[in-house]
């Protein structure tokens, strides 16, 4: 068997190689940490920017919803007024129809004319009627 002779230079070279490897490993790890930190800061900036834009869009949407609610309320008021006017107009039409019928009856009584049927304002019905 061959015995190994202790070579201090070889041990020193091995230790220097290990130290250099460890130094390179720590350096690369440090660089990776720096890059990860930069990426994290960039991501945080992007998230803050997107959050700011989302807040702005939410404010705009809230304003638009408020405007729409206001317009809906105004439309409801206009519709209620139109319904009220329509009901009033219907009442007037019924009143005038009643008065017109009364006047028609009075005129017929004064002239001595018998009613011939319902009076129509429909021109198509009048054209179809041969009389």
| Residue 100 lies in domain | 12-114
Decide if 32 is inside a domain: yes
Decide if 63 is inside a domain: yes
Decide if 119 is inside a domain: no
Mean per-residue pLDDT, 37-54: 98
Supply the pLDDT for residue 111. Answer: 82
Q: Computed over its alpha carbons, how large is the radius of gyration of the chain?
A: 49
Decide if 65 is inside a domain: yes
pLDDT surpassing 70 at residue 33: yes
Q: Contact, 97 vs 91, CB < 8 A?
A: no
Decide if 54 is inside a domain: yes
In this predicted model, which residue has the larger pLDDT, 54 or 125?
A: 54
Domain total of the chain: 1
Supply the pLDDT for residue 127. Answer: 56
Decide if 61 is inside a domain: yes
Decide if 102 is inside a domain: yes
Decide if 5 is inside a domain: no
Mean per-residue pLDDT, 5-21: 87
- At 77-106, the pLDDT tens digits run 999 999 999 999 999 999 998 888 888 888
């Amino acid at each position: 068997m061959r015995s190994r002779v202790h070579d201090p230079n070889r041990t020193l070279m091995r230790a220097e190689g290990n130290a250099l490897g460890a130094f390179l490993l720590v350096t690369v790890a440090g660089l990776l940490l720096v890059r990860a930190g930069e990426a994290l800061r960039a991501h945080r900036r992007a998230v803050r920017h997107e959050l700011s834009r989302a807040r702005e869009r939410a404010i705009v949407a809230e304003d638009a919803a408020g405007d729409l609610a206001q317009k809906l309320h105004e439309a409801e008021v206009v519709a209620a007024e139109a319904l009220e006017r329509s009901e009033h107009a219907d009442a007037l039409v019924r009143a005038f129809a009643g008065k017109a019928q009364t006047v028609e009856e009075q005129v017929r009584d004064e002239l001595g004319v018998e009613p011939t049927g319902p009076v129509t304002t429909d021109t198509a019905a009048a054209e179809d009627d041969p009389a």
